[in-house]
Amino acid sequence: MDAPTILITGAGRRLGLFLARHYLSAGWRVIVHYNTRNEMPELEQQRYIQASRYMAFQADLTSSRSVEDLVNKIHKLNWDIDAVIHNASYFTADDPSANLNERWQLQQDMTSVHILAVDALTHQLMSHYRDGASIIAVTDVYADKPNQRFATYCAAKAGLQNLCLSYAQRFAPRIRVNAIQPGPIQFLPEHSDEYQKKVLSQSLLKRELGYDSILQGVEYLLAAKAVTGSILKIDGGRSSANHYEQTFNDS
């Protein structure tokens, strides 16, 4: 039997790249999507290519033509797929001064990356999914508790999360579909100490969670054959802390 195969979107950097490296090291065949040429994953290692265990494809998920091209390339591999991690994301704040066309474009781009591309990849690759395959989407704590500065992003992530719940119903019992709702995983270099302290103060564990915490969640969802239609919160208790804070302020 062939090695298990996983497709990871948004694997050019950060969490996606971390997951791709892990599953290559674990003996999986890995298909990675990355957004732009300057994001090409640092995984172009000859031993993986020679072993036919690694393929990387660039695609702009805001473009239907680019997504279609990505689908066709994956089709040509003709690899049976055991797992998909929809990790690709587009994160930016809303601009209150944006005109109608700018706001419209932002909504389109957010919806394309988080919903339309996920829907296209899910349905167009359905014939390649093995029985018992697992689909996992990475959403955000903002999906349930939106931040007004990032309203468009929050709405798109909420849509992705809802899509997962619908897919869990649609594809059961053959395919399981779940979502991971992460909190503060790993700060960017440009995040100030003050910003980091503010974010961590909103969680119960008061610490940066790291990519390993998400990997543990992915491993759980891949192994837990009785779990589908679930939203796994890996947020250091941030969602609970916010709930308690709001309750206290309202009292």
Q: How confident is the model at residue 194 (pLDDT cuts 50, 70, 90)?
A: confident
Strands 54-58 and 129-138: unpaired
> Tens digit of pLDDT for each residue in 6-36?
999 999 888 999 999 999 999 999 999 999 7
Phi, psi of 173 (to 5 degrees): -90, 0
Share of the chain above pLDDT 70, in %: 81
If you classify domain 5-192+209-237 with CATH, what class do you get? alpha beta
- The one catalytic residue in 23, 90, 129, 153 is 153
**54 catalytic per annotation:** no
According to the model, what pLDDT value does residue 38 have? 64
As a whole number of angstroms, the distance between CA 217 and CA 168 comes to 18
Q: In a 10 Å sphere around its CB, with 0-12 CB exposed, 13-18 middle and 19+ buried, how is residue 61 labelled?
A: buried
**Domain segments of the chain as ranges:** 5-192+209-237
> Tens digit of pLDDT for each residue in 115-164?
999 999 999 999 999 999 999 999 998 898 888 999 999 999 999 999 99
pTM, two decimal places? 0.89
Q: How confident is the model at residue 238 (pLDDT cuts 50, 70, 90)?
A: confident
Average pLDDT, the chain: 87
First to last CA, the chain: 60
DSSP states along 182-212: E-S----TTS-HHHHHHHHTTSSS-S---HH
Of the two residues 172 and 12, the one the predictor is more confident about is 172
> Tens digit of pLDDT for each residue in 210-227?
899 999 999 999 999 999
Q: Is the pLDDT of residue 191 over 80?
A: no
- Dihedral angle of Cα 124, 15, 22, 211, to the nearest 10 degrees: -140
Q: How confident is the model at residue 246 (pLDDT cuts 50, 70, 90)?
A: very low
Q: Is the pLDDT of residue 3 over 80?
A: yes
According to the model, what pLDDT value does residue 110 have? 96
Radius of gyration of the chain, Cα coordinates, nearest whole angstrom: 18
As a whole number of angstroms, the distance between CA 42 and CA 218 comes to 22
